[in-house]
Amino acid sequence: MKSSKSPLLAFALICSSVSASPIIGGQNVTMVLENRATPTVVTAAILANMQLFAQYAAAAYCNADTNLVGSAVTCSNSACPSISSVTNYAYLGYDQSEATGFVSIDDTNKLIVVSYAGSDNLDNYIADLLVPLDTCDGNLVSGCKLHEGFQYAYEDVADTTLPAVKSAVAAYPTYSLVITGHSLGGAVATIAAAYLRVAGYPCDVYSYGSPRVGNEAFVNFMDAQAGSHYRVTHTTDPIPRYPAKLFGYRHTSPEFWLSTGTSTTVDYAVGDIEVCTGIANTDCNDGTSSVVTTPHSYYFEDISACR
């Protein structure tokens, strides 16, 4: 979503009106996932992880390609300089899928990372615009409902995600599993993580500029699962405020808000990140009202620059 105006934004405005251990500096640190709450105090280690996985989310825009499997991850416009030694392990999706992604193997940090791409074409925008909440497939938890369009997008990658993760975990059993994505990719990452955890694959999630994905039953279920969820928002980015809460949508908690600077600021210190708890909090990004989408593209970098 690079443009300042989009079908998603226009519709969003209408709607609105009515765990991780550190992975720093190439150290081989294994994350131990357990049934615990996401930390609500930002440390240098957490900030470093947010910066690292933003690059993985950025890489999904240009590495989700069957022809790149087996090669090193590369990004144009210097979108992922810290993960150039990472291997593209598997492609997620199919030729006509609205959502795509890839699995990578990071031997330096002992990670298996699943990255989903954000909106990149008209089909993705159509998926974004399908507003109704629909019953969760697979009966995650009683009363669970998901955004219909985002659930459809997840289903595009579901059949390839689980086998790829199963294969990667079998090949690298000591590596930790992380799921990430930006924009629509963040929504898909959130849903995918819930299903992977149920399937026996605990994971941490790093989402950037994700819209709301499901209802209260879903987010409470996800917040109680093993593994942490770092939901990052940027200044006045309007996309996390979509779809509107009045339709029954809620966010996972907590939120990590890059609160200072301009719409294109990418350099943040620990003190610049505010943490807000609650599935319907209005103290961070949801307390803003700007409709300009520029901040949506800047999460520690120009996150959708790699095309």
Residues annotated as catalytic are 183, 237, 296
What type of residue sits at position 255? E
**Cα→Cα distances 222→105, 168, 191, 204, Å:** 25, 23, 9, 11
Q: Contact, 182 vs 208, CB < 8 A?
A: yes
User: Which tokens is 266 given?
Assistant: 């990418």
CB 88 within 8 A of CB 71: yes
39 membership: H or E segment, kind and range: none
> Which of 138, 106, 59 is CA-nearest to residue 306?
59
Give the DSSP per-residue string, 190-220: HHHHHHHHHTT---EEEEESPPP-B-HHHHH
63, two tokens? 């590495």
User: Cβ distance 213 to 240 under 8 Å?
Assistant: no
H-run or E-run covering 270? none
CA torsion sign, 87 to 298 to 101 to 274? positive
